Chain A
């Protein structure tokens, strides 16, 4: 049985603890966080011990795995502290590993020294859509790849995520998903050119457009947005032999629809673009009245429409097939 301690019990930490407990041969034995009162419902739910910090955890509890779900700016310090305290410790860490390349390299060096095993949670590598997308590319479903387009949009994040100093901002926190997937699929990046805007006004947003050239020659474009209406992702891989397209707006196997008042949107078709049918209709009627056009709907056809509706209603009432009598 692997004994797991989770440090940082925000949304992500709770999700991790839940997932560990669903697995065989693992058990969450300890939770680590500053605020004991906030954690007490969780320690009793999972029957885990509470520790205020990693130091007291490693001094008093025997664990195999430390799962770090803290804000990004605390990763470096937490990892290095834990490795120093327990040689050979296994560490699972939420992405990004660290806020800077320098810190990340230091973690790599220390982990080799102390034989710590560190696993970073780049979830796209376990996402069915993105792993299969990669597999198809690697198996040359589109032949030699020329241009890749990726997009990832979420609502503006709450809490520490919005703080550049703590999360690294949109390019680090959101962009790392696709940038890791790109390197996993197409190898290393040669150069990168980013345009970035952000504003914390009435509606805060942060947005970036990144153009990359991979060492393999592949050209890539990544759109990142904080400030939309929920998660939207898309990917498009264009190659010599075809085009592979994925779009999150097109993947819901189940969509839920709830009734709405007909007074609200959705009753009449929204004539957002161009001339509405009602205008075309009345222009036509006007031109018929002044004798310039022949009606596209005759009075007789309107009569027949009422008759067929009447038959349909009769059928609904009787439960029988209704035949139209007389010429339709």
Chain B
């Protein structure tokens, strides 16, 4: 299968390219990037062609695209790819506003192309196991979740609101929100949030706390803060304390790692020793295109997470609980 890559703006692009390269049935057939230096470099690295013109890449003989542009550009790139009849794996968040997300979903439906949003955490072997345990009722009915998705401050366009749409709340609410919707087959009923900029001298929020009630009554908090210091041994974390009527699960998606006390680099590092969730995500997307089946993570999944993010901003601005209104797709 021939796959085009649209932009390496998001850091995950390199991981996706790496796993596309390793996949026995995939081939990176071309790269477009508005930064031609970066694009040329990546084309060399992954032994493929660089396209100056996105229309040319989309006109080429490719089956699908992986879009890792800045959040605000997801819409134009998804719409263009869909209109060219290419299947799409789009980095999260789906978009920076609800209207864009809706337009992306509608266009992909019209053009009959697959739109999958990249929420790799669902594919973590740990989360797959958690899903099985919850479905087997090992802790009874889930009643509460206490989650964290911490990170280091990413810098670059992530802290430029015009390109990212927002800071830590935009970047880090969606993963746990998506995983929880998927684990519980449930939607957000109402949301409260405290958001602030307390760690860095930047124009977007870098920390906060989100408090949610799901439609089922499950209570759920998310800490999306970019609060990990520079010396933290890894980029951040994904943890969940899942409380059930007959027990609880303490989940750490990245627990399986070595600690490297590295005198050569003068730091301490976590080195994971299990399958990378990004690899499973890429394999799933390729299989989805080959079998022309429903994507594992749909545009609607992307939209629902975005609605919650917008609700969190609204709640934080007004200091009150916001009841979510879900738009139809």
**Residue positions of A touching B, CB distance < 8 A:** 144-147, 149, 151, 191, 193, 195-197, 199, 201-203, 205, 207, 209, 211, 213, 217-221, 223, 225, 227-228, 238-243, 272-274
Contact = CB atoms under 8 A, between A and B. Distances in A.
Contacts of B207: 146-147, 219, 238
Contacts of B225: 146-147, 238
Interface of B: 125-126, 129, 140, 143-144, 146, 148, 192, 194, 196, 198-200, 206-209, 211-213, 217, 219-221, 223, 225, 227-229, 231-232, 241, 243, 245-248, 256, 274-275, 319, 321
Chain A binding surface SS class: strand
Given A144-B198, A195-B219, A205-B243, A219 B209 contact: yes
A220 B225 CA distance: 12
B232 to A, nearest CB: 7
Contacts of B227: 146-147, 238, 243
B256 A273 contact: yes
A242 B229 contact: yes
A217 B198 contact: yes
Nearest to A228: B248
B319 A191 contact: yes
B246 A272 contact: no
Nearest to B129: A273
Given A193-B321, A199-B245, A243-B228, A221 B221 contact: yes
16 contacts: A146-B225, A151-B241, A195-B212, A196-B219, A199-B245, A202-B245, A203-B140, A203-B246, A207-B219, A207-B243, A209-B220, A221-B209, A223-B146, A238-B229, A240-B199, A274-B129
A203 B199 CA distance: 41
Nearest to B141: A199
B143 A209 contact: no
A195 B211 contact: yes
A219 B194 contact: yes
A250 to B, nearest CB: 13
Given A197-B144, A203-B246, A273-B256, A211 B194 contact: yes
Contacts of B196: 146, 217, 219
Contacts of A220: 209
A273 B199 contact: no
A213 B212 CA distance: 16
A213 B194 contact: yes
Contact of B275 (A197, A242, A272, A274): A274
A259 to B, nearest CB: 26
A219 B198 contact: yes
A207 B246 contact: no
B258 to A, nearest CB: 16
Contacts of B229: 238, 241-243
Contacts of A193: 192, 194, 211, 321
A166 to B, nearest CB: 24
A40 B104 CA distance: 78
Given A146-B227, A211-B192, A205 B245 contact: yes
Contact of B245 (A195, A201, A218, A228): A201
B126 A273 contact: yes
B209 A147 contact: yes
A291 B97 CA distance: 54
Given A147-B207, A195-B219, 15 more contacts: A146-B199, A146-B227, A147-B227, A149-B223, A193-B194, A195-B212, A197-B144, A199-B143, A203-B247, A219-B194, A219-B207, A238-B227, A240-B198, A240-B200, A273-B274
Contacts of A195: 144, 211-213, 219-221
